[in-house]
Chain A
């Protein structure tokens, strides 16, 4: 008995924080912001103001139950279910707030999710990811959960449930460009990553094999890493501009002082260090006895490298690639500053127009992309590590 009673009364610390933050957001922060047009400062509205009384009360009751679950229930399945229920309720509330506050046919007024909404979403998201972590799902299951979540979110968006919310209004106005810049964003991030891996793998192998060069290579890449992105764009602008002017072929290939070329080169340079360092570290981790035995059995250097060393180093190398991919997805945003395109276009355009909804149209998908990339690559690393111990 003595051991079971404290467990019943134990309050979950993270749950307490989540409940407190969620409750404060619900009570003190605006759930939505109503604006007469897209650039005017808004008029904050609470949950109870924007929903019919019964719906507002039901909403709050459910969120309180979710808070209780966060506080006192230790079963992670129930916690996950509660968090997801909370997300659904908050999403439904913000969607109906958008519909309720927008006069029919009016394309000018904007209903933007308020800080209360975002804090609630973050708190519930934290609760959900914490529950998933406690469930320790296999890597495949984690990817499946991500796909399911993306499918549900995509389906709901496609149905038009949120069409009266400000971000979706901005989307409706920019749908064609959004698809184009989204594609460009992925191409820039993945393209620079691929180029970096092709160069960084051999460099990492050199670092491992030739200790004399190691300090020089890693030191140089470290210096590159410390250059701020904007400064690097600036540094690249002059030589690439000169190159385009001097070599017509380069200009025809799209290499100019501004645009995608300096963006890709800068991202490529930033990508080198993590992959080179992790390749080096991964190769160091390979058991010297296994390499010695491989040599003793008559494997050639190439067979040892490809059949033993790189395969055993793969989980660490993939961890480096994961770092680079997530980093690149974020950094591509800045490429828009020099005409490189990508979702950053909306961010900077939004800043220029003080239209925060347009900023979000660029920022939210960027965060979602980076998060998804992290989940997928983490799963991949874990699968590799399990198979190869």
Chain B
């Protein structure tokens, strides 16, 4: 758990982050979203003290982060950035091994961890361990960057626009992978982005920032249905807010007992996708099945539409 208390950062007369307080739950993904210049990156960088706060403090599991030297703190916190920042003179394996080596792990453990991470990120260790970053595609570099951030098994991972440089298809895949990895390692992730779709897709909770202040920090559904500030509604989008709301619930969650004809819809599909499918088919309802093919009920257009209304 990360507790941010009255955190502020001023550069001269300019206040970049203005008295932010928030609690980031263990094993969750919190996304900080805002326009450029909103102070979101500075807020993130104050958590691992790449930026020293002017006032306020950050506690990780109850311990004040200011109580130990910054470089030792950072070795316990994963950090991934947009342009991945891989060391061009080191191989993929050496890059991933950076923090474990700083922590003086024995070489056998380092090697085992590097292999494990490469496999988790779908990079064959035999093929990729010895390659240099410039020999990888953009998507592969990004995966190695995240693998490197996770190498020393940090309980907290900070990500600053980690998928900003990827094209849309690779980005969607990277987001799915991140969700898988978060579930697998139970890492607490704080991610900064300017992309509201990404925030809604990844975040258990989303903080909307503007001019150094967190305007609202809540579950995506609440951001949509009860925006605390006109700026939040503008950020989340007014025209398609019903569709966004639908995208936050899965077919499995909305299914009601019963059966229906025609091809079934996957329980993991969002209601937005389910609605689109039904409109396309011209059908009123469809059956829902889970990943094993077990039926879990039916879904009607009317029920879906009900989910798209606030309250």
Contact surface of A with B, Cβ cutoff 8 Å: 287, 289-300, 303, 308, 311-312, 387-389
Shortest CB–CB separation between residue B144 and chain A, in angstroms? 11
Q: From A292, A293, A303, A388, name the one whose CB has the most chain B CB atoms within 10 angstroms.
A: A293
Do A296 and B79 touch (CB < 8 A)?
yes
B14 to chain A, nearest CB (A): 21
Residues of chain B in range 207-257 having any CB-CB distance to chain A below 8 Å:
none
B81 touches A298 (CB 8 A): no
A296 touches B50 (CB 8 A): yes
Scoring B residues 148 to 173 as 1 if CB is less than 8 Å from chain A, else 0, what string do you get? Answer: 11000000001000000000000000
How far is A342 from B26 in the complex, measured between Cα atoms in Å? Answer: 72
Complex: A8 Cα to B243 Cα, angstroms: 70
Q: Name which residue of chain A comes closest to B103, CB basis.
A: A298
B99 x A312 contact (CB < 8 A)? no
**In residues 77-96 of chain B, which contact A (Cβ within 8 Å)?**
79, 81-89
Cβ of B48 under 8 Å from chain A = yes
Q: Is the CB of B88 within 8 A of A297?
A: no
Contact check, A298 vs B85: say whether CB atoms are below 8 A apart: no
Q: Please name all residues of chain B whose beta carbon is closer than 8 Å to the beta carbon of A299 when the two chains form the complex.
A: 71, 98, 102
Q: What are the residues of chain A within 8 A of B149 when measuring CB–CB?
A: 297
User: Given A308-B87, A312-B89, A388-B89, A295 and B134 touching (CB < 8 A)?
Assistant: no
Q: Are B71 and A294 neighbours in the complex by a CB distance under 8 Å?
A: no
State whether the Cβ of B259 lies closer than 8 Å to any Cβ in chain A. no
Task: Enumerate chain B residues within 8 angstroms of A290, measured Cβ to Cβ.
Answer: 85-88
CA of A290 to CA of B249, assembled, Å: 39
B73 on the A face (CB < 8 A): yes
Which residues from B are CB-within-8-Å of A287?
A: 83, 85, 88
CB distance from A285 to the nearest CB of B (A): 11
The B95-124 residues at the A interface (CB cut-off 8 A) are: 98-99, 102
B74 on interface, CB distance cutoff 8 Å: yes
B75 within 8 A of A: yes
Q: Knowing A298-B74, A389-B132, say if A293 contacts B89 (CB, 8 Å).
A: no
Closest to A303 in B: B102
Q: Are B88 and A289 in contact (CB under 8 A)?
A: no
The reply to whether B73 and A298 form a contact with Cβ atoms under 8 Å apart is yes
Determine if B85 and A293 form an interchain contact, defined as CB atoms under 8 angstroms apart.
yes
Give Cα distance in the complex from A18 to B183, angstroms.
72
B-side residues, CB < 8 A to A, are 48, 50, 71-76, 79, 81-89, 98-99, 102, 132, 134, 145, 148-149, 158
15 more A-B contacts (CB under 8 A) besides A298-B71, A298-B74, A299-B102?
Answer: A287-B83, A289-B81, A289-B85, A290-B86, A293-B86, A293-B145, A293-B148, A295-B50, A297-B98, A298-B75, A298-B76, A308-B89, A311-B89, A387-B89, A389-B89
Given contacts A296-B48, A296-B79, A297-B99, contact A388 B71 (CB under 8 A): no
Taking the nearest CB of chain B, how far is it from the CB of A129, in angstroms?
31
A122 to B86, CA, bound (A): 47
What is the CA–CA distance of A167 and B155 in the complex, to the nearest angstrom? 76
| Residues in A whose Cβ lies below 8 Å from that of B72 | 298
Q: A299-B102, A312-B89, A387-B89 are in contact. Are A293 and B84 (CB under 8 A)?
A: yes
A274 to B86, CA, bound (A): 29
User: 3 closest pairs, A vs B, by CB?
Assistant: A293-B85, A296-B79, A298-B74
Pick the residue among A289, A295, A388, A389 that contacts B84 (CB under 8 A).
Answer: A289
In the bound complex, what is the Cα–Cα distance between A294 and B149 (angstroms)?
11
**CB of B247, distance to nearest CB on chain A (Å):** 32
Across the interface, name the chain A residue whose C-beta is closest to B134.
A389
Name which residue of chain A comes closest to B151, CB basis: A297
Q: How far is the CA of A56 from the CA of B158 in the complex (A)?
A: 80
Min distance, Cβ B92 to any Cβ of chain A, angstroms: 14
State how many angstroms separate the Cβ of A189 from the closest Cβ of chain B. 30
Instruction: Please name 29 pairs of A and B residues whose Cβ atoms are closer than 8 Å in the assembled complex, sorted by A.
Output: A287-B85, A287-B88, A289-B82, A289-B83, A289-B84, A290-B86, A291-B85, A292-B50, A293-B84, A294-B85, A294-B98, A296-B48, A296-B74, A296-B79, A296-B81, A296-B85, A297-B74, A297-B75, A297-B99, A298-B76, A298-B99, A299-B71, A299-B98, A303-B102, A308-B89, A312-B89, A387-B89, A388-B88, A388-B89
Indicate if the CB atoms of B81 and A293 lie closer than 8 Å: yes
Contact A297 B102, CB 8 Å, known A289-B85, A389-B132: yes
Q: Closest B residue to A295 by CB, please name it.
A: B50
Chain A residues contacting B50 (CB-CB under 8 Å) are: 292, 295-296
Whether A298 lies near B87 (C-beta < 8 A) is no
- In Å, the complex CA distance between A291 and B89 comes to 13
Q: How many angstroms between the C-alpha atoms of A300 and B72 in the bound complex?
A: 9
Determine the chain A residues whose CB is within 8 A of the CB of B86 once the complex forms: 290, 293
CB-CB under 8 A from A312, the residues of chain B are 88-89
> A106–B263 Cα gap in the complex (Å)?
111
A220 to chain B, nearest CB (A): 32
Give the distance in Å from the alpha carbon of A292 to the alpha carbon of B102 in the complex.
Answer: 16
B136 to chain A, nearest CB (A): 12
> When chains A and B are docked, how far (Å) is the Cα of A311 from the Cα of B89?
8
Chain B residue with the shortest CB-CB distance to A290 = B85
Chain A contacts for B102, CB-based, 8 A: 297-299, 303
Residues on B with C-beta less than 8 A from A303 are: 102
- B60 CB to closest chain A CB, in angstroms? 14
Query: Are A295 and B88 interface neighbours, CB within 8 A?
Result: no
Chain B residues, CB < 8 A from A295: 50, 74
Instruction: Name the distance in Å between B251's Cβ and chain A's nearest Cβ.
Output: 39
Contacts of A308 on B, CB cut-off 8 Å? 87, 89
Cα distance, A90 to B158, chains bound together (Å): 71
Q: Find chain B residues with CB under 8 A from A292 CB.
A: 50, 81, 85
Q: How far is the CB of A304 from chain B (nearest CB, A)?
A: 10
- Could you say which residues of chain B place their CB within 8 Å of the CB of A291? 85
B111 to A: closest C-beta gap in Å:
19
Which residue, B72, B85, B86, has most C-beta atoms of chain A within 10 A?
B85
CB-defined contacts of A296 to chain B, threshold 8 Å: 48, 50, 74, 79, 81, 85, 158
Chain A residues lying within 8 Å of B87, measured Cβ to Cβ, are: 290, 293-294, 308
Could you tell me the distance in whole angstroms from the C-beta of B154 to the nearest C-beta in chain A? 10
A307 CB, min distance to chain B CBs, angstroms: 8
Residue of B whose beta carbon sits closest to that of A291 = B85
A389 to B136, CA, bound (A): 13
Q: How far is the CA of A299 from the CA of B73 in the complex (A)?
A: 11
